[in-house]
Structure 1
Amino acid sequence: MAMQFDDDERAAVYRAIYERRDMRHFVRAPVDATVLSRLIAAAHHAPSVGFMQPWRVARITDPALRAALHDAVERERVRTADALGERHDEFMRLKVEGMLECGELLVMSLMDGRDQYVFGRRTMPEMDLASVACAIQNMWLAARAEGLGMGWVSLFDVDEVRALMRMPAGAKPVAILCLGHVEAFYPRPMLELEKWAERMPVHHCVFENYWPDEPESAKTPQEE
């Protein structure tokens, strides 16, 4: 049988999982280049369908490009607020990114030429996106272990960011990642602290064999 981690090693893995946070508040300080290399290597060791490795990571070092990406996110933030209707003002009070404060700004994208990869994608072409999400999660957990915060920004128009980044046809931005030092990690997810949403009980997400006749989301609080 394969050798399992010892107790301390196993505890460290679970600690990183449970203490990982989507960070929006950063301290203006540089990220050590060696640490950044380790985090990118962690992302690159993520699983990918058909071993296609569809992730592409761009480090944003041009201040003008960082500002332009921030402007694109801000425009989408306003459009998202308008689409939320009665929760508009509540949403606008939330801090949704730390793009101008974080030590490193990265753009994680899907590579071009993905259509040539059929293994595992013939019926589910979206598995390339799932693979990129795995790379992001690897980096997120490694960042937490390094004492760095990371935030995933998805509020942007894909075509606008694609143009700003001069991406080839077929490439697609997936996430703007804010990475850097933080004063403290949130004790719970920020959106939970801000009462935007709550973590649902795990039993709402797990069932055996067949999909339940009544979805958990349809139950009233009295049925819990």
Structure 2
Amino acid sequence: MKADLALPLWAQTTHILTMLTIIMRKCKQLKHAGLVVVTLVLSLSLPGCALLRPMVMPTSPQDSWPTPSELGYSLQAQQVLGLTYQGQTHKMSVALEVSAQKMTLVAISAVGVPIAIINWDGEHLDKQSPTGMDLNAIPFELIMDTIFYAYWPQPSLADMLKQQQWTMTATAQQRSLYNHQQQSQIDIRFNQYQRPNGSIAITDYRTGLDIALTTIQWITTK
């Protein structure tokens, strides 16, 4: 059974990926000490770069990502992604498909058009935009990190955790990630997320970003 990627219209939502690309073309991207500084648009009512508030995004442990097959099952999911930063929230639709061979993440605009397609086969990351977006300005690797930490079995995350010198505690309701000083890095809280209207709430203490995933459809097969 294939998931229909044409999700319902989402009125009053922001094309956050498109806006990031537009702004990053206007503003110089900053880099410092291995950290990529990515700008998140929080207020679209102000002109130019004056409205930007920088968010420092840590480097992704991409070299240690698990393979798609390590998820343990095939998955087709449709969800609403909400990003909250400094009190303002932006929403978009996403579709995730995982098979033994490949993981595909699709970002979907408010009119149901795929605007970014990210593929991971366990060795290579491929990023494409049917609309011609500049995907280098967007930290898709860090979005993928969050997906792995939330969905993949804990044993398959051992290399990621080792590379970052992190530890994880996990229950059926929550996963918490700590650095080597036992400081909280990421909290992931589950609320029947495999059912329609179920959710996952993620707090990234490093960036101050809150991520909410609300499930529309969740289909798994062995």
Bucket of the pairwise TM-score, normalised by the shorter protein: under 0.3
Name the one with the larger strand percent. 2
Could you say which structure has the greater relative contact order, defined with CA pairs below 8 angstroms and 6 or more residues apart?
1
Q: TM-score, normalised by structure 1?
A: 0.24
Q: TM-score, normalised by structure 2?
A: 0.24
Name the one with the larger helix percent. 1
